[in-house]
Amino acid sequence: MSDHGMFGAKGSGDTSGYGGLVRSAASTGSSERPYGGYFDDVADDLERAYPDFADAIERVVVDRGELTLHVKREKLVEVAKILRDKLLFEMCLGVSGVHYPADVNRELHAVYPLLSMTHNRRVRIEVSIPDSDPHLPSLVEVWAGNNWNERETFDMFGIIFDGHPGLTRILMPDDWRGHPQRKDYPLGGIPVEYKGATVPPPNERRSYR
């Protein structure tokens, strides 16, 4: 039997799910200048536009050709508005959750990819929060298109977006227990019930024409 488990972990033949398998990953510190390309311009512009830059940005990471701004939770809305209004990142392409059980007091991460159509630039915002206090401010007031994305991240990871206009599950039933994309969520063996579901005939189904 191979000793290579799921997700690249070693030392176990358990390939049935998370099962305690851990693949160690080094925490990436701040990247050193120059970042390269337009990344230095983005960082400089943000520092000029936002006097609290040093207090709001935990670190700036350039990795695999991407610039990520690690932002403190309490400064998220302020930084988002500066990026939208001053640096012209007009579009947020949603929010993705990530679960790192071994990252103590920072187990849940939210990642926001941003696009400036004006300057044809891309950056990411990343925020880390503890599993014991999984609250983030909603960015729907900044980028309205984040509405359903925040609902999905809440549904799958349990991140609570304070101020969201209607934070309910979007994929799982309202009474579903747990958050299926977390690494501590069991894989398989969960009974699924379809309560009162019916399939109408084709001529009665919803039409989008």
Measure the CA–CA gap between 102 and 11, rounded to whole angstroms.
18
Ordered structural domains, the chain, with CATH: 28-197 (3.30.460.80)
pLDDT at 114 over 70: yes
Can you list the positions of beta strands (E) in 93-146?
96-99, 108-116, 121-129, 135-137
Measure the CA–CA gap between 63 and 31, rounded to whole angstroms.
8
pLDDT at 59 over 60: yes
- Please state, as a whole number, how many other Cβ atoms lie within 10 Å of the Cβ of residue 147: 17
pLDDT above 90: percentage of residues in the chain:
68
Which tens digit of pLDDT belongs to each residue from 124-159? 999 999 999 999 999 999 999 999 999 999 999 999
Q: Which residues contact 144 (CB under 8 A, 6 or more apart)?
A: none
Query: Which uninterrupted H or E stretch holds 59?
Result: strand 57-63
- pLDDT for the residue numbered 20: 54
| Mean local confidence (pLDDT), 20-31 | 65
Which tens digit of pLDDT belongs to each residue from 67-108? 999 999 999 999 999 999 999 999 999 999 999 999 999 999
Q: Residue 15 burial by CB count (10 A; 0-12/13-18/19+): exposed, middle or buried? A: middle
- pLDDT for the residue numbered 186: 79
Which tens digit of pLDDT belongs to each residue from 155-199? 999 999 999 999 999 999 888 889 999 998 877 666 666 667 666
| Mean local confidence (pLDDT), 32-50 | 95
In the DSSP assignment, the letter for residue 55 is: H
Residue 70 dihedral angles phi and psi, to the nearest 5°: -90, 110
